[in-house]
Structure 1
Amino acid sequence: MKALISVLPLVFVAATSFAKTTPETSELVTQNTQSVLWMQNAGEYRALCYQAYNTAQMAFDAAKATQKGKLAVMVDLDETMLDNSPYAAWQIQHQQPFASSSWDNWVNAVQTPALHGAVAFAKYVTDNGGTMFYVSNRSDRTFAATKANLIKDGFPNVSDFTLRLKKDTSDKAPRMQSIEADGYKVVLFLGDNLNDFPELNTYHKLNADRNAAVDAHQQQFGRHFILLPNPSYGDWEPGLGKGYYQLSEQQKAQLRNDSLKPWNGQ
């Protein structure tokens, strides 16, 4: 394992290829600068992470006091437990859009740090009789590197059983059901994306429906659903319009601008 960790960081530098970018692509990438700066530098972002984990700990304690059986906490990884802002910063500095090749190079480098407070929360759950399930939409082809990264960061109970990555669908509902089928009761969800909470049924829906789902479950946030802040990316973006990923870069930029709700200046 040590050999894997020491060698893989070189792969990201050596194997990452640079795609030719258009001015429209560069504009979309550059728009993320303020979000990434905030996530990497603002004490407010760090405070929100601590706040989320503190709330999650209290929610787990409340569930443990009232529910019996094998209690599970289902957590997303990226921007929920792990900090991928270095990859986003690399994209900005090199004007590179997201690409599965560069993303896989980043994941395989085994350099992703834990968010502040994430490991302590995972250990608290484990030490108090709960089981952490790490359910991520990282591709299953990066399973070995992701597992190594979590162990390197100090997360507890990381195994082939508790780590469940994407195999055939990014919809997490089947993986939640598989955890339940294994005899566990999922009492708490942590994520940075509404799709990390399968019970909300927001998968591939537009923002009007996503917001309606939030309103309908407002009492469960902070109790059953714990949301981490992520202004950098998420399913809210394709939620701006139908067929978002089929749009040209120029059309995406226009849709982003059209989706703003501005003051009329008077």
Structure 2
Amino acid sequence: MKAVKFFLPLALLATAVHAEAPVNHSTMELVAQNTQSVVWMQNAGEYRALCYQAYNTAKMAFDLAKSQHQGKLAVMVDLDETMVDNSPYAAWQILHHQGFTDQGWDEWVNSVQTPALPGAVELANYVTEQGGTMFYVSNRSERTFAATKENLQKLGFPNVTDFTLRLKKDTSNKAPRLQTIKDDGYNVVVFMGDNLNDFPELNTYHQLNQDRNAVADANKDAFGHKFIMLPNPSYGDWEPGLTKGYYQLNDADKVRVREQSLKPWQQK
């Protein structure tokens, strides 16, 4: 049954995404390097366990915050690889040797086939039942708002509205959207994401990995309490954090930067 769950959407997506541009060897290599990550995310019990661990931790963090704070309490969550699972799209990319494109991504999102991560819906319902408000703050484009809203509601996420669902309009920096939530009178007591940029208070936006790692170290006591991180080895802002101007590089140079970022065993 699991194979049907993942590969039926892939077959449909492969039919929908057409007229693909020719792909060079470097693009194929860049995409193929993601295979192990996607296989792990789709098959490993360890990945599911980490998801459950993150959501259980978030419940405890919210309960503690509720005992310490008054007023309108909120939990701000990312969507992709935090509450929902886009590994079918990543698997389609690998099998069809396709790099990321806005067109391909939008067709995947608009297919309304993104599944929930294990335990995500339960967490959202728990927070809502305990009097909290879930804010779904994603860098999916505003042009996919209708499909994203429909997908979340279809999965059973609670209170998905034009007010609580806040997608990217002008910037992928989530700090302005966090501020609008605060301006609406909410105290965000728990943040969940798969990317340090999902925690705007940490100010890691467009920072290189040396600085991002330093921020993580400086805030180590907040992880597991205020900030709940989910694993995502497939993609994230750690990749452009490898070097300045990463996204302006061609695929061959991106492969080179990845290789140069490895820290190998130094044999003596």
Normalization by structure 2: what TM-score? 0.94
Q: Residue in 2 aligned with 1:6?
A: none
Alignment of 1:79-158 (within 5 A): 79-158=81-160
| Aligned partner (choices 156, 173, 195) of residue 175 of structure 2 | 173
Unaligned runs of 5+ residues in structure 1 are 1-8
Distance 2:89 2:193 in 1: 19
Alignment of 1:21-32 (within 5 A): 21-32=23-34
SS of structure 2 residue aligned to 1:102: helix
Q: Residue in 2 aligned with 1:187?
A: 189
Aligned residue type for 1:223: H
Q: Residue in 2 aligned with 1:222?
A: 224
Alignment of 1:158-169 (within 5 A): 158-169=160-171
SS of structure 2 residue aligned to 1:133: strand
Structure 1 residues 170 and 20: alpha-carbon distance in aligned structure 2, compared to 1, 3 A threshold: same
SS of structure 2 residue aligned to 1:107: helix
Aligned residue type for 2:113: Q
Aligned residue type for 2:55: Y
Q: Residue in 2 aligned with 1:256?
A: 258
Residues 159-200 of structure 1, C-alpha deviations (whole Å, 9 max, x = no match): 000000000000000000000000000000000000000000
Q: Residue in 2 aligned with 1:41?
A: 43
Distance 1:13 1:204 in 2: 35
Distance 1:253 1:236 in 2: 15
Aligned residue type for 2:175: A
Distance 1:191 1:14 in 2: 29
Aligned residue type for 1:161: F
Distance 2:189 2:123 in 1: 15
Q: Is the 8 A contact 1:16 1:105 kept in 2?
A: no
Q: Residue in 2 aligned with 1:50?
A: 52
Distance 1:178 1:157 in 2: 18
Residues 59-95 of structure 1, C-alpha deviations (whole Å, 9 max, x = no match): 0000000011100000000000000000000000000
Unaligned runs of 5+ residues in structure 2 are 1-10
Aligned pairs, how many? Answer: 258
SS of structure 2 residue aligned to 1:45: helix
Distance 1:92 1:45 in 2: 20
Distance 2:18 2:153 in 1: 25
Q: Is the 8 A contact 2:16 2:107 kept in 1?
A: no
Distance 2:218 2:18 in 1: 43
SS of structure 1 residue aligned to 2:233: coil
Q: Which runs of 4+ in 1 moved over 4 A?
A: 9-12
Q: Is the 8 A contact 1:59 1:224 kept in 2?
A: yes
Distance 1:239 1:177 in 2: 25
SS of structure 2 residue aligned to 1:226: strand
Q: Is the 8 A contact 1:12 1:105 kept in 2?
A: no
SS of structure 1 residue aligned to 2:50: helix
Normalization by structure 1: what TM-score? 0.95
Aligned residue type for 2:183: A
Q: Residue in 2 aligned with 1:242?
A: 244
Distance 2:214 2:254 in 1: 24
Identity fraction in percent: 71
| CA drift at 1:10 | 6.0
Structure 1 residues 70 and 153: alpha-carbon distance in aligned structure 2, compared to 1, 3 A threshold: same
- RMSD of the alignment, in Å? 1.1
Residues 101-140 of structure 1, C-alpha deviations (whole Å, 9 max, x = no match): 0000000000000000000000000000000000000000
